[in-house]
Chains A and B, each alone.
Chain A
Amino acid sequence: MNKEIYEKNIESIRKKYESWADFIEEEKYKKSPFIYVDTDKSIDGQTIFRVSNDGKLFYLNGKYNPSYAGEDWLEQQGQIEDFATVVIVGIHDAIHIRNILKNVKKTTNILIYEPSIEVFVKALEEVDLSFLFEEDVPIGILVDQINDKEKKIFLQRMITYDSMTMLKIYISGNYEKLFTEKVEAFVEDIRKRVMDTIKNWNTIVRYTNVNAVNIFNNCKYMYDGYSIYSLYHMLPPEVPTIVVSAGPSLNKNIQDLKAAVGKANIIATDTAMKPLLNAGIIPNFFVVVDGLKPGDLFRHKDISKVPMVTMNAISVEPMKIHKGKKFFYASDSQLETEIMTRAIQKDKKSMGMPSLASGGSVATSAYSLGIYMGSKTIILVGQDLAMTGNKTHADGTFKDKMDTIDINSGEYFEVESVDGGKVLTRMDFKLYLDWFEEQIKEQSQIRVIDATEGGAKIHGSEIMTLKEAIEKECKKEFNVRYRVSRRPQMLGEVGKEEMLKILEGLPGKLIEVKKKAAAGVRQYERLEKLSKKNQYTEKELEKLLKQIGKTNKYIEEDYMASIVIDSLKGMEYTLRPSIYRTKEDSQEEMHDIAQNGKVMLQAVGYAAEEILQLVEEKVIPFTEKQRQRNAKKAGKK
């Protein structure tokens, strides 16, 4: 060991991550008996590492020109763009890291992952790594056993929609062979993060055009609505929740569900409602999450008998068709936040509207609701997450007899089935399957029984028939319906009054946003002009940028402007990647900024106008009617 180097490294680590230094010095880590790290000298005298792991022996760098490490990779990458994320697997002699750092810009996000504590400790003893821990070096470092649990947080922070198309991964020589499992798992985590980011963005973009329409149509139901907050831990832990989804296997055991009525909390997904009601089963709740769900799924004479768990962003028709109790969860809408915040501030009787953890599908939301309500056992029914019988959903959902899929379309692939064989699935189902498996792993106190009797295997769940599951788990009589009927409404009288005031003030707020956007467009037009002419004073530019800054601040911070911006995510989607591509010439860059800003604010103006029309058609008539009703009520009193 080179004591001098080791002490220098520890000292620099201590300055940045004190707990790391203690962890290493006190040898709190667990060394693998199979990993041995040794050093060798290159021809020019540099320290290089040689690692043996479980019979495999490999060098981590070459002997004749170790300084070249990473150069082939850099050549392959070409120019690394501003704001790109570079992930480096392996620290050891850190020569490759120095080479990569020399070739990236200051705006590059660097994440380094060392999958072996043994290599890391040896490296601290032999090579100078202090540059990695200097205060002004914005590098994220993950080291096996020290902080690798923060992997998810780092990936969330470093891989975003903006940076993911510029993501670069460098895996140090022989790490894949020596630490196969850990490296593969890390790369899989990165892949998952990218997939999630795409999924989230696609969802946002898919729904934003309809989001505003849905929210401004649906917000009126909050007035007499309920919050899922009132359902929190309503159930004794021994009462299980049965989540009924509309997978193809539902047709097989739907009749068995009758035995669970009154002994379990039955939550149906939206699509499963029709088959359930047709089978004479009235669940305790049904959940909706989709902003585009067609109303046909809900046209049933008994639909209003079942409380709906919903949010403002779901499609308009189901909300209109269903006349029963509506329990709201948060939809991440600024309008809703404004209403709830102000109502709670002014009214002690008003309650919050929590969000519901979701893996992207209605069944995942129903699952989270069951746990939120207090169940310790969740029984999944109709949760195929696969094309059982080459169908997407159970008969009686979208059609009386569902069509079979074209298995050769290239959209489907095989996963393990509950019976140990293989079954076809598609990407969105696979993502939900991953979500369930992750939840089961993370929430070890929750028992999950898969009583679907078909479909994909959900690892970590217990597999049994629905009959068996009901016999074993649904033993206690518990009247969920009665408890639900005793829940108070979400808003108290004062909160309701506050809500009406906000809704009545919407037209005025939207006109304000329109005016600000128009002023912003004019400012960007002036900036565009400046970018075209070569002569302008610094003062002139500074003054204009100050005005633009003020407009942007308003657009970013005002709640109504945020609502309007949210309705434009599809547009932002096309503008955002270009924001990070810097231009060589500052005048060209100024021109680009002006163009993007102008387009965005023009769109804000149009969107504000559209929403204004919507508010006048849908919201104002409601407030007027409600005022009349309230006046009538007050008169009677």
Chain B
Amino acid sequence: MREKQEVLKKAIENLDIVCEKIKTKENYMQEMPKCVEAVNGAVMMLLAEENSNQEYIVQLLEDMMYGMTQQDEVFLLDVLRFGLKTGLEACYHQFEN
């Protein structure tokens, strides 16, 4: 369980870094590969879980890809912060309990 939490924590930390860069209008693209890797790790782990909301997770990933490819920072920041990060934080707390 702890290992899983570590994976989620790493993804959340990476999301925080990218979100902060987008908010302050800095170049966030160089942080993106690391962030995508960490998010992928977390998502793969969650998809393997029973009862995971696969549809929602896939939509999140699609939206993240959309925001990245379109370089639409308004859309991307919202997906990363209120979609992915909020979701991963909720899972982290579930594992805690």
Contacts and interface: CB of A to CB of B under 8 A. Distances in A.
Interface of A: 43, 57-66, 68, 72, 173-174
A61 to B, nearest CB: 7
A62 B60 CA distance: 12
B74 A174 contact: yes
A64 B78 contact: yes
Those 7 A-B pairs whose CB atoms lie nearest each other, nearest first: A62-B78, A173-B74, A65-B82, A64-B82, A64-B83, A59-B75, A58-B72
Interface in B58-77: 63, 70, 72-75, 77
B4 interface: no
A66 B82 CA distance: 9
B75 A62 contact: yes
Nearest to B83: A64
Contact of B79 (A58, A61, A63): A63
Given A62-B82, A63-B83, 11 more contacts: A57-B70, A58-B70, A58-B75, A59-B72, A61-B78, A62-B74, A64-B78, A64-B79, A64-B81, A64-B82, A174-B73
B23 interface: yes
B60 to A, nearest CB: 8
Contacts of A65: 78, 81-82
B46 to A, nearest CB: 17
A585 to B, nearest CB: 36
Interface residues of B, number: 14
B79 A174 contact: no
17 contacts: A43-B83, A57-B70, A57-B72, A58-B75, A59-B72, A59-B75, A61-B78, A62-B77, A62-B79, A63-B75, A63-B78, A64-B79, A64-B82, A64-B83, A65-B81, A68-B78, A174-B74
Nearest to B67: A59
A245 to B, nearest CB: 43
Contacts of A66: 78
Contacts of A173: 73-74
B23 A72 contact: yes
A41 to B, nearest CB: 13
B71 to A, nearest CB: 9
Interface string B74-92: 1101110111001000000
A177 B19 CA distance: 19
| Most B CB within 10 A of own CB, among A43, A57, A60, A61 | A43
Contacts of B82: 62, 64-65, 68
